[in-house]
Amino acid sequence: MKLIKTYFVPILILILFLAVSPSLYAQKDLQINKVFEQYGEMKGVTMVDMTNEMLDGYDFSLFKSITIKNNPTAADFIRKCLEKDQEGAKKVKQVVASGVLTSVYLQLPRKGQLYRLILFNQSFQQENKITLIYIESKNDSENILKLILKKK
């Protein structure tokens, strides 16, 4: 009885932490999180953050995107982040032009019930535009990619 009383509160706190932590930290462990933090509120940047939202017929738990114009430093920084985040991930598609990564779609390992995708593209048409998207969904990644690969 004394043993139960001694360990009751620490066990409760441990259960609490284990129950809550996966959902709160599914994307906090990624390096690309720094991109959203550093560049999200700057001029010339568009950042979107949506949770539990339907978009174009698809159900996302989390949708985060950032579009940066005319910033080669940001592009290099994003590539460095992607180098680390792609460890253990499946490269669905990749485009390298003149030795420089210009487009990559990464399927990250699942976190609990969530499928995770990182999508990156650098476009040189008209202006230097970088697009980085992070998606979490309970739907299979393949279905989400169908939305992305639709030709407009």
Partner 1 sequence: MKIRYKHTLSFEKGDKLIEKYYDGLTTVADEKELRSFLSQPNLPEQYKVERDILGFFEAKKKKRISTVQLIPFKRWSSVAAVLIVGVFCIKFYMTAYSTNFAYVDGEKITDAGKVKQNALASLNDLSSDEVADGLNSLNDSELIDQQLSVFTNN
**What residue ranges bind partner 1 (CB under 8 A)?**
5, 8-9, 12-13, 15-16, 19-20, 23, 40-53, 55-56, 63, 65-67, 93, 95, 102-103, 119, 121, 123-125, 129, 131, 133, 147-152
Give the DSSP H/E element, type plus range, for residue 15.
Answer: helix 2-24
- C-beta closer to partner 1: residue 19 or 73: 19
- C-beta closer to partner 1: residue 31 or 131: 131
The b-or-e profile of 115-142 (16+ CB within 10 A means b, else e) is: bbbbbbbbeeeeeebbbbbbbbbeeebe
- C-beta closer to partner 1: residue 31 or 67: 67
- C-beta closer to partner 1: residue 19 or 87: 19
Could you give the CA distance from residue 22 to residue 45 in angstroms, rounded to a whole number? 30
Contact present, 138 and 115 (Cβ < 8 Å): yes
Minimum Å distance from CB 27 to partner 1? 14
Minimum Å distance from CB 109 to partner 1? 22
- C-beta closer to partner 1: residue 9 or 73: 9
Minimum Å distance from CB 88 to partner 1? 22
Minimum Å distance from CB 59 to partner 1? 11
- Sequence-distant (6+) residues with CB within 8 A of 36 are 47, 49, 64, 66, 134
Here the tokens at position 123 are 């476009």
- In the chain, DSSP finds a helix count (H) and a strand count (E) of 4, 6
Minimum Å distance from CB 122 to partner 1? 10
